[in-house]
Chains A and B, each alone.
Chain A
Amino acid sequence: MTLDLQERPTAAPEAPQAVKAGAFSPRQLLASLPEALRKLDPRTQLRNPVMFVVWVGSVVVTVMAIIQPSVFAWWIAVWLWFTVLFANLAEAVAEGRGKAQAESLRRTKKETVARRLTSSGAEEQVPGTELRIGDLVVVEAGETIPGDGDVVEGIATVDESAITGESAPVIREAGGDRSSVTGGTTVLSDRVVVKIMTKPGESFVDRMIALVEGASRQKTPNEIALTILLAVLTIIFLLAVVAVAPMSTYAGVNQSLIVLTALLVCLIPTTIGALLSAIGIAGMDRLVQRNVLATSGRAVEAAGDIDTLLLDKTGTITFGNRQATALIPVSGVSGAALAVAARLSSLADQTPEGRSIVDLCAREYGLPGEATAAEAVAEFVPFTAQTRMSGVDVDGRSVRKGAASAVQRWTATQSAEIDAIVDEISDGGGTPLVVAEAASAEGAGARLLGVVRLSDVVKPGMAARFAELRAMGIRTVMITGDNPRTARAIAAEAGVDDHLAEATPEDKMALIKKEQEGGRLVAMTGDGTNDAPALAQADVGVAMNTGTAAAKEAGNMVDLDSDPTKLIEIVEIGKQLLITRGALTTFSIANDLAKYFAILPAMFVAIYPALGALNVMHLATPQSAILSAVIFNALIIVALIPLALRGVRYRPTSAANLLRRNLLIYGLGGVIVPFAGIFVIDLLVRLIPGI
């Protein structure tokens, strides 16, 4: 594993988000009203079988109300239309949030003029929209990159805030895993040659816009299965209501079409039918708010099903850089003395390792965390490939730290004690830096002081996080290029379930295939071109935005923050999506019981007065009972829009606990809430004259 000294975000940056992940506000409802009205078009309604039945019912009752006007008929007609409208509203609000995001993205798609290199090497000016795959374009400081591609020449700092919301510039350079650039971002310094990798109109930004707008939204497998079940339930209830007509006639009362329609609308699962697509859109939206783009809803759903997480050690489980974790003096040297020397040697060393040594000395030995005025004049001896050590010369004193062999050569001494310490640190997976001091830069009279241990530091809270994942039934596997011993030590400290040491891309691929053969779903992150096959093979492959175009193409999600720990959040979002769907379905069906108790006695009490006993809510009149049920049925949709958009709260725990909790809230709650709701609505409805 190479030490990554460049700035790579190690924790989620607090990115200013294009659209605030803000709470749902009533104003959104109002703003979405025109779109909701547009969706009353029957062709739009046809896509949702449950709501289409309500739409037809509304038309039927409206016609009835016109033919035989009555207060009751008109109230029912109006509230049936409200039911349809509220369902549209839910979808429109969910889509509206995406639209705002798409707007801000579209602003990045300005007209650009590209400087294309011809085969002869000359430059020509062409509109950015005319670029084809394989074209080479030159981009210099201050210019906008005309299309997605890879840097093939040069190095530059690029402002990607338009896409990621992250204002700090990033470095893009030819070759390696940091070559990918996105159209619409701006080069801040230097000059690069970019090879265009996408067709116009299919760029990353184009895809993002289509995604957040929901234009390319297709129903996901689970959504389709649920829609089928809801359609079947609708058919059953349609039959039940149709059969009521002759049964009631036999018993002696003809039921009006209005009452039968009201019964039907109350029974079919309108709540979940109305909110189903909003839940899906909101799920995608929650990912976007966390700066993750999924190429399909299917991937979000799959995230909830993940059984195995493959996590790269560096950057995900441990901090990206090794840090000083201990100072081990040789006998005869105090820890404090070693700390003073180690700190001095690292003061001018701006590498993360150097900083970590200063921090350790400050933390554990109370030494100043910054160079004092006296120390600032010290002469810094930088690390070179020849000396393999660094240090300072100050006040006739020289301090050096570096690889054991190099430092021992400098001091011209051998120490068995030092060798023993060095071996022990190496065996434990750490990197030893030997510290020595001398009176002169040449090392005369030098003596070895001790060893600084650099090691991988597991990010705080990771063990707890993995325990949570375990409780959720997810196995974590750490992937590292370290040797097996080091890997085992870190794996044990981090609390992962398994690890893969000295991993090559092929090993990674083999591991994914092995897991999948056992029927398990695998998620992973990756950024390099050699990660691409594994990203494509994984069920959820999250490519880092800093990664190559090949990696981004292969994965089914892109993390704009390039934060590998986000995989865990992605899994949670996937689960939350499925839970929300299940909870609202259960709630919707459980609601029916109360509606029966409201409507059936109202329908039949004239025939069999004994059935009045079923009117447990003591609703005022048959009309008020039926109308109250219909109003409740419509209002509950609006009441649940925030929940559908926000998602049911998810806490990582075992499936058994989750089921118990959600069954209690949404199952039992779904049985009880409508009894209370219909009762309260009836108190108002009974005041309407003519009801």
Chain B
Amino acid sequence: MNDTLAGILQIVAMVGLLALVYKPLGDYMARIFTTTKHWRVEKALYKLIRVDPDAEQRWTTYATGVLGFSFVGVVLLYLLQRLQAFLPMAFGHGAVTPSVAFNTAISFVTNTNWQSYVPESTLGNTVQMAGLTVQNVVSATVGIAVAIALIRGFVRSSTDRLGNFWVDLTRGVIRLMLPISFVAAIVLIATGVVMSFHSGVTITGVDGMQHTLPLAPAGSQESIKELGTNGGGIFNANSAHPFENPNALSNFIEIFLELVIPVCLTRTFGTMVRSTRQGTVLAAVMGVIWTAFIAVAWFSEAHPNGPAAQAAGAALEGKEVRFGIPSSILFGVSTTGTSTGAVNSLHDSYTGGAGGITILNMLLGEVAPGGTGTGLYGILVIAIIGVFLAGLMVGRTPEYLGKKLGRVQVTAASISILTMPALVLIGAGLAIALPSTLGALGNSGEHGFSEVLYAYASAANNNGSAFGGLTVTSDFFQVTLGLAMLFGRFVPILAVLALAGSLAKQKRVEAGAGTLPTDGTMFGVLVGGTLILVAALTFFPALALGPIAEALS
């Protein structure tokens, strides 16, 4: 079987598998967040943290819960790293330096997993498992909880209650994240992913030298790393490392895990608003963008414009030969389309076109299909803007799912949309203006600029992948990227919860012939068009100076 056919079969299999689990998983998630029954273990937990699981919260209380929980997460994770010397299974790694510990704490709590450290030489098993893996689970669930709160805003009518954050978080972890990631970990280990509590094995290389090959409990972290669209590798090489991602099968499973929750959440949305077509149309928009981006990136990688790559027939620099172009592109587009940020190839080595696609994918706001929860609320916010812009053209005050879009809704949605471009443009603009940046670039010219643009796009979108090439250890990058992660995560969350609160207060009006239909192809085109147009218009100049210039030359 040739490469191309294998790639196409892989894509078809991926879509098929997602379609297979779409309904059951989506409906299961809807049930998790709508049932009134509590599990015994959950009841015990609520008693422990003194929460009345049946008391619902206003959006402000819900938001306070999100912020408070995340703040505590940052503090705990910071302390764990700083006190590593006293922890078991530290393998001699001492306290993590304050700036790295701070950056890492923010990075994992915001579901970014930007890594400004080398895991093998910095962290022992306890920090990895009790710190990072725990945040991988809960930060992903926080995103889902916010998305569920927004759905409730659409579903509910004349109320100021959005549900209970602690209940949503607990259920999400216990009923969704833990079971799936447990099973996935077993499967991944079966494909050859390493799961070891040893610090490493010592081997003698072909050169006769002694090498220490680090080992890690990779299997358990790998599954939640992908499932929770986190992306922080337990090894520096991330999913390009054979211990994290040994073969084509594990690669396929990991991509599936990245996509499965964000995609199926559209079904959850459709089920909860009692019109599954509403969810399908969003999934279709995500799917079309995902497929189109893979096609463009693949074409670009197969038609490189560098002399070396042309001689090789394809751009293979920075790719694992066990994956080849299709599996690398599939992973690259999926990891930037979700907010995962795991990599199985070096995006820095992509051609201008494919590298540009990975940047653009993030600059769309990561909605194809986006992170766990963040993807859904991201595309819903875009839908609201699209409905507001074009919805007027049917001669009514724009309404989406029976809720009128007025001043409050547009303001909240605008703040949510404005945050990411502001962070990326200000960050990249500032960084490129500094003379010191020139020294940190791995390349000059348009490609060097792409590295900076990528870094801020990745941080502000809580993606966490790195283009590579750029050295980000300076205080300037640590601070500005850290702030980009922080604001990029929590400003939209606050705006989305405020939006949910304002929607829940409204009465829900049934749709009639006069209302804009939001479950058909036309609406899909509208949402996709808004998405592309808004991102294209905002970032066209920046992209022109980076990847577009590179791709055209």
Contacts and interface: CB of A to CB of B under 8 A. Distances in A.
A305 B396 contact: yes
A247 B537 contact: no
Interface stretch (B94-102, B141-149, B399-407): B399-407
A519 interface: yes
* Max count, chain B CB within 10 A of own CB: residue among A232, A235, A592: A232
Contacts of B487: none
Given A236-B421, A239-B422, A242-B425, A663 B392 contact: no
B200 interface: no
A558 interface: no
Interface string B405-442: 11101110011011001100110111011000010000
Interface stretch (A444-452, A498-506, A524-532, A651-659): A651-659
Interface residues of B, number: 65
Contacts of B392: 222, 226, 578-579, 581-583, 585
Contacts of B510: 518-519
Interface in A572-631: 574-576, 578-579, 581-583, 585-586, 589-590, 592-593, 596, 600, 603-604, 607-608, 610-611, 613-614
A470 interface: yes
B428 A243 contact: yes
A244 interface: yes
22 contacts: A226-B388, A232-B418, A237-B537, A239-B425, A240-B537, A243-B426, A243-B542, A247-B428, A247-B449, A251-B445, A473-B512, A473-B514, A475-B512, A575-B395, A596-B537, A600-B541, A607-B545, A608-B446, A608-B553, A611-B544, A654-B514, A658-B394
Interface of A: 221-222, 224-226, 228-229, 232, 235-237, 239-251, 263, 267, 301, 304-305, 307, 470-475, 517-520, 574-576, 578-579, 581-583, 585-586, 589-590, 592-593, 596, 600, 603-604, 607-608, 610-611, 613-614, 650, 654-656, 658-660, 662-663, 666-667
B389 A586 contact: yes
A436 to B, nearest CB: 53
Nearest to B407: A225
Given A517-B507, A589-B533, A593-B537, 16 more contacts: A226-B388, A226-B392, A236-B421, A247-B542, A305-B397, A307-B514, A578-B392, A582-B391, A608-B553, A611-B544, A655-B396, A655-B516, A659-B394, A659-B522, A662-B394, A663-B525
Contacts of A578: 392, 395-397
A304 B395 contact: yes
Contacts of A613: 552
A407 B540 CA distance: 88
Nearest to A470: B513
B517 interface: yes
Nearest to A576: B395
B449 A301 contact: no
Nearest to A304: B395
B184 interface: no
Given A228-B410, A518-B510, A659-B522, A614 B396 contact: no
A240 B397 contact: no
Pairs A-B, 5 closest by C-beta atoms: A473-B514, A582-B392, A575-B395, A243-B429, A246-B433
Main secondary structure of the interface of A (DSSP, over half): helix
A656 B433 contact: no
A618 B449 CA distance: 27
A667 B402 CA distance: 24
Contacts of A305: 396-397
A307 B509 CA distance: 10
Contact of B421 (A239, A575, A659): A239
A667 B396 CA distance: 18
Given A247-B429, A596-B540, A519 B508 contact: yes
A656 B432 contact: no
